[in-house]
Each structure stands twice: as C-alpha cells, then as structure tokens.
Amino acid sequence: MLSFDNFLQTEGMPIYLQIIRYIKQGLVAGTVQDGEELPSRRVLSALLAVNPNTIQKAYRILEEEGLVVSRSGAKSYIAADQTQIHQVRSELLEGDMRQMAGAMKQMGLTREAAHRLLDQLFCEEENT
Amino acid sequence: MLSFDNFLQTEGMPIYLQIIRYIKQGLVAGTVQDGEELPSRRVLSALLAVNPNTIQKAYRILEEEGLVVSRSGAKSYIAADQTQIHQVRSELLEGDMRQMAGAMKQMGLTREAAHRLLDQLFCEEENT
Amino acid sequence: MLSFDNFLQTEGMPIYLQIIRYIKQGLVAGTVQDGEELPSRRVLSALLAVNPNTIQKAYRILEEEGLVVSRSGAKSYIAADQTQIHQVRSELLEGDMRQMAGAMKQMGLTREAAHRLLDQLFCEEENT
Amino acid sequence: MLSFDNFLQTEGMPIYLQIIRYIKQGLVAGTVQDGEELPSRRVLSALLAVNPNTIQKAYRILEEEGLVVSRSGAKSYIAADQTQIHQVRSELLEGDMRQMAGAMKQMGLTREAAHRLLDQLFCEEENT
DNA sequence: GTGGTCTAGACCACC
DNA sequence: GTGGTCTAGACCACG
C-alpha cells in the first residue's frame, strides 16, 4: 500500500509533479505493486491538503505514461510491468543522484566529505 | 569568478530558483567571494539560454536576501559576510541535501547502494 | 457594474496605470460600488485587448492600496469605504486634472478657449 | 526662449516623451520660435536632472519628426513652420482635452461641474 | 555596456 | 470558470 506519510513538498516544483514523482518512487521501492489500487482522488486530496483537480491531473499523466489505468468509476490502478519500473528507477536515480552529486561537487565537497554527508543524512532519517 | 559551466536545469523546479541555488552553492564553496562581480544579466542569460528577465529575478531575490547588491547602470556584486554564508550553507544542507537523501531512501535505496552511486557520479564527472 | 466602454488608451502611459486610474475614476463617480465584483482578468483583458497579466498587475496594485480584495479561485471585489473614496478623489483631482490644466496653460490656451474646447468635447461625446 | 521651469514629470510616462511633449507645448504656445536654439544636451540634462542620453533621444526623435535640426557640433535648432506647429497643436489639444473631458465625464461630473473645476484649476495656477 | 520595468503568453492550483 | 506565477522579449534610463 502506498502511504503518503513522509510526503514533503519540494520548493517550487508543481504539486502534481511531486505527486507523480512520489508514486513513481513508491513503484521503484516496491512499496506499491502492479495492480494495486491507488487512493481515490478524494482521499488523497484530503490527505495531502490539495485540490482534487490536482490529484486528477497527476493520475491522468501517469495514465498517459502507461503506469496507471483507470477502471469503472473513479478507481485507478497501478499497471506497470518490471521493464517500466526499471525504466522509472533509472530515470529517478539518474536525476536525483546526479543533482545531489552536482550540488555537492559545486559546493566544493571532496568525495570523502560527500560520503560523510550522505551517511549523516541516511542516519538522521533512520532516527526520525 | 563564478562559472556556470556545470549548471544543469532540473525539470520542474523554476529556473530562477535553480540559479539562486547555484550561486548560493558557489558562495558556500568559496568559488565566489564577497565583493566579486556577478555576470551581467545578458551574459548569464546567453550562457544558460534563458530570458534575461529570469536572471534578473534571481538577482533581485538574492538582493532582497542581502547577498547581492545591484545598482542601475552598474554591475551587480556579491555582498555576503561570513555569517550570511554560514547561514546559506545550513539552508542548503538542511534543505536540498536532506530532501534528496529522503527521496533515495523512499525509493528503497540502501546506504551502500547510495554510496556506490555517489562514487560512480563523482568519477564520471572527473573524466569529463 | 463597471463598464469599460469609453476606456481609451493614452500613448506613453503604462496600461496598468491607466486601468487603475479608470477604476478609481469609477469609484469617485459612484459608478462602481463597494462590494461590487470586478470583471475577471480574462474578460477585461479581452475587452481592452491587453494581456491578462496587465490586468492582474492593476488589480494587484489596487489590492495593495486596499481598494480591492482578491482571493485565488474566487472573483475580485471592490473594497473601498467612503474615506478611501474621498482620498482617491483628491488624489485624482490633485494629480491628473491639475496636470492637464497645467499642460493647457503651458500651451498658451486661454481660459475661454479651454472652456470652448471642453464644451465641444462634452457635446461630441453626447452624440456618440 | 524655452524655459523648463514648470516642467513636471507625468507619472509613468517615459522621460524622453515628456521632454518631447514639453518642447512641443512650447512650440504651440509660441514660447519657442522657429530657428531658435534648443538648450544643449548637457545644460538641459543638468536642468532636469536627467541623463544626457535621454535628452539626446528626445532631440533625435524631434529631428526625425522634422521639428528640429541638428547643425555643426551638438547644437540643435527648432525648424518648424506654421503648418507643422498647427498640426502639433491639434495633436496635443486633441489628446489632452479629450483625456481630461473623458476623465471628468467618467467621474460623473456634469458639464457645469467640469467648467467649475476647469476654472478653479486655471485660477489656482495663476496664483502660483 | 549596466540594471529596471512593462507587456505578453502559458501554466499552475483552486472553486 | 477564478486568481497567481514563471518565462519571454522589448524598451527605458543610466554609466
């Protein structure tokens, strides 16, 4: 089941893109499985304190990308095979890590310092 | 001098925020010093292939944050003391870095895998 | 209701300022009342053949002056009490009117000629 | 001789247009005659506390409109025959009075009130 | 050349 | 539908 517990808005990024991204991250992590039902627009809208239209937009785009199907009524289901998931994984990791590494390098961190920072960030989260 | 060589646009995030972040990273890295002049609106806009107005917006916000001074007709300069730089450093580490680490964890990436990826990206860049 | 029928652009003066002035004139005239809704950005932009953003700017400034209230997703409304209206009236008479009179005098127009011209223009409009 | 004593900036209108306008008003009023020398860019720039480039721009446009000629060195002279002056007069009066009448009408002033206001404005100026 | 502003068009989030 | 924002391009005033 896809929980939106530690969903956190990224500054500046459109909300619907953040939702798409969050769901994709769940796919990659295996937190959400093929065929699983997505939270209804109404529920998710309440959960994230976001307008239903915005949820709808995210779902629609995911559907256009072939990762989600909408069936009878307003229910949406994950429809992603392993190939797609792998592709999404590359896409996300490529983006995130590259950005992170770029930021670290640009801030003048050595590789060692970068590793230390990474460790620190991972541990911090574990204690949360 | 602040070079924008390895500036890469991130999808979704407003360009002016990315520019602000890039300059802040340079400040933290010490790549750009207090009193140094910033590239002019036109030069930087040509370099990044964005509208001069977008650069203007980034510089204006940095000025409002007290990190840059601009005078009409004259150039724009960095004006940030050590206290401000330290504050910016915290802001960046607290914000961006933590967020990326969170995303990676949410994707189920182990710490070891993250380290491997980081190494890979650092080496990749070194060969460029 | 505020009609923009006889709105005519003045060369050189920024459009958004002209719109602001027009609305203020309506306030002074009592053509538009407190609590009344303003035409939406799109409607007015189509009516005046200008960009919606220009309307937006005018409305935003009026809001900053406390004469209009806007809420995202909802309409914009006039919010001006009598004190504010009186103040606007003074502002308009002191500013625009005096300025035009000054320009006419500077052109060497006698008071009589000015009166004749004024009459002429009032009649002209009446026949339209 | 064209004096810039009661030159007053109109809000929002570009400075170079205001200068053009002021000179045209002088032409219409007869304050400045055909063949008369315009103040040098430097002098006028100091007088109006405006950048010489801006004066230059105004003079250049007046020259393009055929109302001014630049001769040997930086000196500029009025070169406007009666036909041209008459045309400028119409242009200015049309604009100003129409705008003033429009504003008055839009503020709901009756013709009588408009005349009273006009009188008042003319008298006020006389006492200044 | 510099920075500042006005207008334009597209997109976002909300009702 | 509504208002809010981001990007774009042209113009203004200044050095």
User: At B122, is the pLDDT very low, low, confident or very high (cuts 50, 70, 90)?
Assistant: confident
| Token pair in block for residue B21 | 């972040």
| Between C40 and A119, residue with greater pLDDT | C40
Dihedral angle, C-alpha C59, C63, C66, C71, nearest 10 °: 120
Nucleotides of F under 7 A from a protein CB: 1-15
Task: Decide if pLDDT at C25 tops 90.
Answer: yes
Give C94's DSSP letter.
I
Question: Does any strand F atom come closer than 7 Å to the Cβ of A12?
Answer: yes
Model confidence over B78-93: pLDDT tens digits?
A: 999 999 999 999 888 8
Average pLDDT over residues D111-116: 89
Task: Decide if pLDDT at C115 tops 70.
Answer: yes
Average pLDDT over residues C45-67: 97
C-beta atoms of B25 and A125 within 8 A? no
Q: Are C55 and C41 in contact (CB under 8 A)?
A: yes
Nearest by CB to A118, from B10, B28, B114: name it. Answer: B114
Supply the pTM of this predicted model. Answer: 0.91
Count how many Cα atoms sit within 13 Å of the Cα of residue D28 in the half-sphere of its side chain: 23
Longest dimension (CA), chain A: 54
Which 5-34 positions of D have CB less than 7 A from strand F? Answer: 14-17
| Between D107 and A98, residue with greater pLDDT | D107
| Between C108 and B52, residue with greater pLDDT | B52
Percent of chain D scoring above 70 in pLDDT:
95
Kindly report the number of other CB atoms within 10 A of residue D82's CB atom: 8
Q: Which nucleotide is nearest to C39 (CA to C1')?
A: F2
Task: Decide if pLDDT at D99 tops 90.
Answer: no
Model confidence over B47-72: pLDDT tens digits?
A: 999 999 999 999 999 999 999 999 99
Q: What angle do CA A88, A89, A91 make, to 5 degrees?
A: 65
Kindly report the number of other CB atoms within 10 A of residue A102's CB atom: 18
Residues 6+ apart with CB under 8 A from A57: A16
Q: Are A28 and A85 in contact (CB under 8 A)?
A: yes
Task: Decide if pLDDT at C101 tops 90.
Answer: no
C-beta atoms of B125 and A117 within 8 A? no
The per-residue pLDDT for C16 is 97
Show which subunits contact C, needing at least 3 CB pairs below 8 angstroms. Answer: D
Q: Write down the residue that tokens 């400075």 correspond to.
A: D15
Q: Do chains A and B touch (3 or more CB pairs under 8 A)?
A: yes
C-beta atoms of B104 and A96 within 8 A? yes
Helices (H), chain B: 15-29, 41-48, 52-64, 82-92, 98-106, 111-126
Which of B113, B10, B24 lies closest to B68 in space, CA to CA?
Answer: B24
| DSSP-derived 3-state class of residue C26 | helix
Q: What angle do CA D26, D28, D33 make, to 5 degrees?
A: 65
Q: pLDDT averaged over chain C?
A: 90
Model confidence over B16-35: pLDDT tens digits?
A: 999 999 999 999 998 889 99
The per-residue pLDDT for B126 is 59
Cα four-point dihedral sign D49, D51, D56, D58? negative
Q: What angle do CA A9, A46, A91 make, to 5 degrees?
A: 40
Provide the total of helices (H) and of strands (E) in chain C, helices listed first: 6, 2
Contacts of A124 in chain B (CB under 8 A): 98
| Token pair in block for residue C99 | 């300025």
Nearest by CB to A122, from B29, B101, B122: name it. Answer: B101
Residues 6+ apart with CB under 8 A from C23: C2, C32, C38, C58, C62, C67
Which of A64, A44, A65 lies closest to A53 in space, CA to CA?
Answer: A44
What is d(CA A84, CA A78) in angstroms, rounded to the nearest whole number?
Answer: 11
Nearest CA in chain D to C24: D107
| Token pair in block for residue A69 | 């199907």
Say which range, B87-91, B123-127, C10-14, D105-109, has the weakest mean pLDDT.
B123-127
Nearest by CB to C118, from D14, D31, D101: name it. Answer: D101
The per-residue pLDDT for C125 is 58
CA distance C72 to chain D (A): 28
What is d(CA B112, CA C21) in angstroms, rounded to the nearest whole number?
Answer: 65
C-beta atoms of A108 and B28 within 8 A? yes
Task: Decide if pLDDT at D127 tops 60.
Answer: no
The per-residue pLDDT for B53 is 98
Average pLDDT over residues C103-128: 80
| DSSP-derived 3-state class of residue A8 | coil
Kindly report the number of other CB atoms within 10 A of residue B121's CB atom: 21
Low-confidence ranges of chain A (pLDDT < 70): 9, 124-128
| DSSP-derived 3-state class of residue C115 | helix
Query: B51 CA, F9 C1': separation in Å?
Result: 8
Task: Decide if pLDDT at D69 tops 90.
Answer: yes
In DSSP terms, which residues pair with B78 in a beta bridge? B68
What is d(CA B103, CA B109) in angstroms, rounded to the nearest whole number?
Answer: 9
The per-residue pLDDT for B128 is 52
Task: Decide if pLDDT at C70 tops 60.
Answer: yes
Nearest by CB to B31, from A11, A96, A108: name it. Answer: A108
Backbone angles phi, psi at B22, to 5 degrees: -60, -45
Measured CB to CB, residues of chain A less than 8 Å from chain B are: 6, 8, 10-14, 17, 21-22, 25-26, 28-31, 89, 92-93, 95-108, 111, 114-115, 117-119, 121-122, 124-125
Query: B101 CA, F13 C1': separation in Å?
Result: 47
Q: Write down the residue that tokens 């909408």 correspond to.
A: A70
Contacts of C112 in chain D (CB under 8 A): none
| DSSP-derived 3-state class of residue A25 | helix
